[in-house]
Amino acid sequence: MSSVTTLTPPADTPIATDDSNASTPAPLPWPQASPQARQRHRVVIVGAGFAGVEVARNLTGSKAAARLDVVLVDRRNFSLFQPLLYQVATGLLSPANIAIPIRPLFRAHPHIRVLLDDAVGFDARAKLVQLRRCSLTYDTLIVASGSRHHYFGHPEWERFAPGLKTVEDAETIRSRIFSALEAAELATEPAAQQRYLTFVIAGGGPTSVELAGAVAEITRHAMRQEFRLIDPALARIVLIEAEIQVLGSFSSESSNEAARALQSLGVEVMLATRIVGVDAQGVTFANASGIGTVAAATVLWGAGVRASPLGAAVAEAVGQPLARGGRVSVSDCCTVPEHPEIFVLGDLAECTIAERTLPGVAQVAIQQGRYAARVILARAAGKRLPGPFRYQDRGSMATIGRRLAVADIGRWRLRGRVAWIAWLGLHLVKIMQWQNRLLVLVQWTWAYATWSRSARLITGVDAHGSPESGAANQTSAARADGTRGSGSGSPSRM
């Protein structure tokens, strides 16, 4: 057996594990031991985000599927519905509303096994996946471990400007937003008070736009009458985008409409402006007018993402260089060149179809997952394989606030109330379990009727509600628990 290509995780992605066995873990036995069982096609899926779960769900319900042994591996025991994660970060929803436990999804399918572990390396020649606690052999490998924040060569900025990829990120952001308002109520100096009441959102993509709109609604409406010494409605909310428009992947009409909607909520939109520094005092930016600063206690990051570190391990195992953003180049069949048994899906894949590189959005990951499952079932049944993957772009949506949204669906350009209702309906039906859909619908209805945000918990801060110390404490706790860099989600756009 050739040596395993392993990944050394960065300092912010530790995994709790039993250190008593420091050697390479032995292969984990598959459940069946009969000669017939050993001939079953073994599928290992790394990552329980949109793509990974979609593959597993489509490997059920047929005779061909019954001839498979499937293992779904993730470092979390839940799959996260990331498009609504910003609502957890702004106190509208609780994490349990959008986090779906993985095991119940496959309770009725005994050929699918779920493992709570972390992939750290691959041996393409031996067809082996190395996990923290064991290793797995495979006939087909699916790697769909998602993406993480990207600070463009400045990882030190993460301490002051958290991104939004995991439940812990959402809880960190939620605590910073609400503890900043509490700190402003305690502040005695006008300058300090204004700094606590200033919120900077880096980036102009859908997540940043949705965060900016939600913070505006919190300060202008949800909490306006709850303080005695400050008026939250006077909060300054600044969105900084390096490009010349927000929502750069949308049509110019929708992008301009989104900018107008943000401005109607009181958000300052700074375009063609780069962030060149982030620290405890705020941000430093550069644009055509020169260098400037914004003093802010709360900075939220949505300016860039990079593929999961597992991409580097896959690329090294198959002997190919990484593509841009740490992604793995795949063919139009979503497989690694010269390795048809290895699929790389979702954010992790650099997939070009008809001279168009597919975006890192949820609908791409879902469609790739369905396609990979079709290929696997065809192989298991000995049938003709499907043709190359074809992506069907079903449009893009982003919500800015109450009755404020934009949508590009084919040639249609929706905005305002119509786009907002379409956004609500689509995201509601995309949640996997009915009980979660019902919980989210009830929360949305109550919030619409009352402006209330019932999940406004502040966690991980000191008794004085200091955003800086609280964020540092929560980040340290998250790192100790191994909560960064999860493969349990795909990009948040539908």
Cβ partners under 8 Å of residue 111, min gap 6: 65, 66, 68, 69, 70
What is the distance between the alpha carbons of residues 202 and 163, in angstroms, rounded to a whole number?
9
Cβ distance 419 to 402 under 8 Å?
no
What are the DSSP E strand ranges found in 366-450? 396-401, 404-409, 412-415
H helix or E strand, kind and range, residue 440? helix 434-450
Residue type, 349: A
CA dihedral 274, 280, 281, 282 (to 10 degrees): 30
* R_g of the chain computed on alpha carbons: 23
Task: For residue 128, give Cα distances in angstroms to 70, 122, 132, 316.
Answer: 14, 6, 13, 14
Do the beta carbons of residue 342 and residue 333 sit within 8 Å? Answer: no
Give residue 402's Cα distance to chain centre: 23
Q: What is the 3-state secondary structure (H, E, C) of 172-218?
A: HHHHHHHHHHHHHHHCCCHHHHHHHCEEEEECCCHHHHHHHHHHHHH
Whether 210 is catalytic is yes
β-partners of residue 130 are 121, 135
Q: Which of 168, 182, 210, 257 is catalytic?
A: 210
> What CA–CA distance (Å, rounded) separates 139 from 43?
6
CA angle 199–204–206, rounded 5-degree value: 100
Q: How far apart are CA 402 and CA 406, in angstroms?
A: 12
**Count of C-beta atoms within a 10 Å radius of residue 295:** 15
Q: What is the DSSP letter of 269?
A: E
Residues serving a catalytic function are 210
